[in-house]
Amino acid sequence: MIILDPTTVPKRSQLNKRHIASHALFKEFGDTLLVSHYGDNESIKEEHKQSQTLSVCDLSMLPRTGFKGQGAPSWIEAQNLILPAQANTAVQQSSGSLVAKLSDQEILVLSDIFGQSKDVLHLSEKAEIDHNNHDKQVYSLPRGDSHCWLAVTGTLAAEMFSKICGVDLRTHKFTSGDIAQTSVAKTNAVVIRHDLGSTPVFYILSDISGVEFLWDCLLDAMTEYNGYPVGVSALQRLINER
């Protein structure tokens, strides 16, 4: 693992100052940096255990994109990706990326948490090439610039959400692959359940300009459950647990 200084890269998370204040150590994923863990290397094991109960992780520097228009669904399928059959559901691809159908005409694509999938890059490049083909009616939505991406994890996550979200996110009601377009801490958000191993995980995508407020609200809501931030290394360790 290569530990890097996030102040040396041109694009940083909006939460960068908060991460540094919490003694975060960063590592490289492709051409971006994410928090690996906080504190020393021994904390990775502690964070992994914490992520199974209740934690929040900033994934905002991982690739993501979106597409909208009447031709968006058929265009996505033409790129050899599996599209969910129903709106407000998501399907993991063989590459590890996640394709979420927000409506009959709007698609969201998220990278895997290892940052290894090339689906987002491929789609962005292909969309630029196909831009002049107006028959497709496909419009790019650069979600990496407009939306933050947080992950709330653990068996207590749904109970914590009951304090700040009106949608019932209990695991027997809101299953893996389900999507809710709702309000979290009075902030408009897309919530996607995407479990990692046997641990419930909820991705939150919201206006990037409000990510600091949302982050602080999540931490405040987690206080009574002893939840706290973890780095992406903890989430990666969840993958193979069943």
- 3-state SS, the chain, equals CCEECHHHCCCCCCCHHHHHHCCEEEEEECCEEEEEEECCCCHHHHHHHHHCCCEEEECCCCCEEEEECCCHHHHHHHCCCCCCCCCCEEEECCCCCEEEEEECCEEEEECCCCCCCCHHHHHHHHHHHHHHCHHHCCEEECHHHHEEEEEEECCCHHHHHCCCECCCCCCCCCCCCEEEEEEECCEEEEEEECCECCECEEEEEEEHHHHHHHHHHHHHHHHHHCCEECCHHHHHHHCCCC
Answer whether residue 192 is part of any domain. Answer: no
Query: What mean pLDDT comes out for the span 80-90?
Result: 96
Band of residue 132 on the pLDDT scale cut at 50, 70, 90: low
What's the mean per-residue pLDDT of the chain?
Answer: 91
Token pair in block for residue 62:
């991982």
- Tracing tokens 């990496």 back to the chain, one arrives at 144
Question: What pLDDT, on the 0 to 100 scale, is given for residue 8?
Answer: 67
Is residue 234 within 8 A of residue 52, CB to CB? The reply is no
| Total domains, the chain | 1
Answer whether residue 81 is part of any domain. Answer: yes
Answer whether residue 32 is part of any domain. Answer: no
Beta-sheet strand order (sheet of 32-38): 3-4, 24-29, 32-38
Answer whether residue 91 is part of any domain. Answer: yes
Q: Residue 1 pLDDT > 50, yes or no?
A: no
Q: Residue 29 pLDDT > 50, yes or no?
A: yes
Answer whether residue 116 is part of any domain. Answer: yes
Token pair in block for residue 224:
């009574």
CATH of the domain at 129: 3.30.70
pTM, full prediction? 0.94
Range of the domain at 69: 64-143
Query: What mean pLDDT comes out for the span 136-151?
Result: 90
Band of residue 135 on the pLDDT scale cut at 50, 70, 90: low
Answer whether residue 127 is part of any domain. Answer: yes
Q: Measuring CA to CA, which residue among 14, 11, 10, 6 is closest to residue 207?
A: 14
- The conformational region for residue 182 under phi > 0 = left, psi -120 to 50 = alpha, else beta, is beta
Alpha-carbon distance 65 to 94, whole Å? 18
Q: Residue 31 pLDDT > 90, yes or no?
A: no
Q: Residue 5 pLDDT > 70, yes or no?
A: no
Answer whether residue 17 is part of any domain. Answer: no
Answer whether residue 130 is part of any domain. Answer: yes
Query: What mean pLDDT comes out for the span 53-67?
Result: 96
